Amino acid sequence: MIAEFRLPDLGEGLTEAEVVQWLVAPGDSVALNQTLAEVETAKAVVELPSPYEGTVSTLHADAGETVAVGAPLIAFDIEGDDPPAAPSGGEQESSAEKAQPNLVGYGAAPTSSGRPARRARRRSAAPVASAADTAVLEAAPHDATPSVAVEPVLERPRSTPPVRAYAKRRGVDLVLVAAEVGDRVITRADVDAYAERIGAEPSRLVGAPERETTPISGTLPRAEGRPRETRIPIRGVRKHTAAAMVQSAFTAPHVTVFHTVDVTATMEMLARLRDDRALSEHRIGPLAVVAKAVCLALRRAPGLNARWDEESGEIVEYGFVDLGIAAATERGLIVPMIRDAERMNLVELSAAIRALAETARGGKTSPAELAGGTFSLSNIGVFGVDAGTPILPPGQSGILAVGAVRRQPWEYRGEIALRQLMTLSLSFDHRLVDGAEGATFLKDVADILEDPGRAMLLS
């Protein structure tokens, strides 16, 4: 019989998802819980497990296509005349009937017993990148590329979504890379090493329909091989970020205030912590100190840790700090959260920020980690930028941009001296926060950065 699997609700009220890539093809046999596809929501890349054991009958969407929640996604040919169903409460259940899946909201029960096992999928028709790389392998001298057995590599290569996207841009088939590196996770360095051996051009884009280049007529000269115009569909994180920023900018009246801080004492403290054998491995940086200062300063500025509830006509003040950290990834800007950041000490905040960044760069941030947040930090200093006017994440009343630390002349104890300076840029919702509260908060953060010992007065 034919059983259809519809795109499930992936959480947080998301209404659609884009199919990034299929990991199965019509005719493939799949096991329960085997990964069928990667889909990209407005917040994260999610792997969809199979709710059935059977044979793939139809794929209802192509890679790159956006599918609404509840719409048919894939059809299976499974054994039996009726779809598996959970038994009613009062009936006696056989051992086979008791084997229900643990995929809440994903589909029906398995039709066979035994431990689910992922099966190797058959390779579909060779894509453009695969054909090109195979041709290079066959034509290249034997000392240019090692002899590898391509066909026996049936399992999907192990890599992260950003690495897969990077390999696609470089025109490299990860199946061929996996044949060289073995069963470990493929990294960008592996892709670069393979591309260098086969002579793949860094700018080459193979098999990526999401970018369509359209040269336009004109008299101006242009660089060789570069189009005058490139059209990129607005999808995924970029689409969600644009909608959220427009909503925030035209809903909350933004005010931004700036303050340049002498952070020499903080930088000297961090240097001492790095020299401390007990703390050196934690690699505590300036952003962790700013995060701790923010958590302490928010105690005296409740309006900056709140939201405006239009429907109820109330201001909701939070008794906790879910601290958002803006992270630039290959998929766009995301703001994952550090839950209950106010409970963490400096070492714990540093570890949480580092783990958050690594997860974001690896494309593994879950929708749950992107939901909520009561106040946010944006570390624009890593790009060499001093100040800006950050836009509030929807539902938050404050965001602080942290500028670069620069050694500059500064008045110090009545003389001009070279000091390490940082500019803080605070944007807030003027419906909840007046100028005095915003200035008080910014001054409290600055005081801690100028003299870390002042944190003792706010703790």
3-state secondary structure 101-113: CCCCCCCCCCCCC
* Neighbour count for residue 1 (Cβ, 10 Å): 11
Residue type (1 letter), 277:
R
Residue type (1 letter), 411:
E
Pairing of strands 398-402, 375-378: parallel
Tell me the angle at which helices 286-297 and 264-275 cross, rounded to the nearest 10 degrees.
Answer: 120
**Rounded CA gap, 318 and 292, in Å?**
17
% of the chain exceeding 90 in pLDDT: 37
Backbone angles phi, psi at 370, to 5 degrees: -105, -5
Per-residue pLDDT, 98: 39
Q: Are 444 and 296 in contact (CB under 8 A)?
A: yes
Q: Are 226 and 241 in contact (CB under 8 A)?
A: no
**DSSP category for residue 374:** S
Q: Which residue has the tokens 């500019």?
A: 423
pLDDT in tens, 122-140: 444 444 344 334 333 333 3
DSSP bridge partners of 370: none
Q: Inform me whether the pLDDT recorded for 314 exceeds 50.
A: yes
User: For the chain, what is the total number of helices (H) and then of strands (E)?
Assistant: 11, 21
% of the chain exceeding 70 in pLDDT: 75
Pairing of strands 375-378, 323-325: parallel
Both tokens of 129, joined, read 């990148």
Sign of CA dihedral 98, 103, 105, 108: negative
Q: Are 204 and 171 in contact (CB under 8 A)?
A: yes
pLDDT in tens, 9-38: 776 567 788 888 898 889 899 988 888 988
Q: What are the angstrom distances between the C-alpha of 240 and each of 44, 113, 262, 397, 399?
A: 11, 41, 37, 19, 19
pLDDT band for 40, please (50, 70, 90 cuts).
confident
Backbone angles phi, psi at 215, to 5 degrees: -65, 145
Own/partner contacts of 178-181, CB < 8 Å, gap of 24 or more, are: 178/153, 179/148, 179/149, 179/150, 179/153, 180/146, 180/148
- In a 10 Å sphere around its CB, with 0-12 CB exposed, 13-18 middle and 19+ buried, how is residue 85 labelled? exposed
Please indicate whether residue 240 is annotated as part of the active site.
no
Of 224 and 416, the one with more pLDDT: 416
Per-residue pLDDT, 170: 80
pLDDT in tens, 254-267: 999 999 999 999 99
* Neighbour count for residue 57 (Cβ, 10 Å): 15
In whole numbers, what is the pLDDT of the chain averaged over residues?
A: 78
Which uninterrupted H or E stretch holds 367? helix 367-370
Does the global pTM surpass 0.85?
Answer: no
Mean pLDDT for the stretch of residues 211-239: 62
pLDDT band for 144, please (50, 70, 90 cuts).
very low
Per-residue pLDDT, 250: 73
pLDDT in tens, 319-374: 999 999 998 887 778 899 999 999 999 999 999 999 998 888 877 887 778 888 99
Q: Inform me whether the pLDDT recorded for 143 exceeds 50.
A: no
**DSSP category for residue 50:** P
**Rounded CA gap, 366 and 389, in Å?**
28
Q: Are 392 and 335 in contact (CB under 8 A)?
A: no
Q: Are 175 and 133 in contact (CB under 8 A)?
A: no
- In a 10 Å sphere around its CB, with 0-12 CB exposed, 13-18 middle and 19+ buried, how is residue 63 labelled? middle
Q: Are 400 and 445 in contact (CB under 8 A)?
A: yes
Residue type (1 letter), 266:
T
Per-residue pLDDT, 441: 97
Active-site choice (60, 254, 259, 430): 430
Alpha helices in 53-187 (DSSP H): 128-139, 161-170, 174-181
Q: Are 404 and 381 in contact (CB under 8 A)?
A: yes
Both tokens of 4, joined, read 């259809």
Query: DSSP of 284-316, one letter per residue?
Result: --HHHHHHHHHHHHGGG-GGGSEEEETTTTEEE
Q: 260: helix, coil or strand? A: strand
Q: Are 24 and 36 in contact (CB under 8 A)?
A: yes
pLDDT in tens, 266-308: 999 999 999 998 887 888 999 999 999 999 999 999 999 999 9
Please calculate the CA angle 379-380-384 and round it to the nearest 5 degrees. Answer: 130
Q: Inform me whether the pLDDT recorded for 211 exceeds 50.
A: no
Helix, strand and coil content of the chain, in percent to the nearest 5, comes to 30, 25, 45
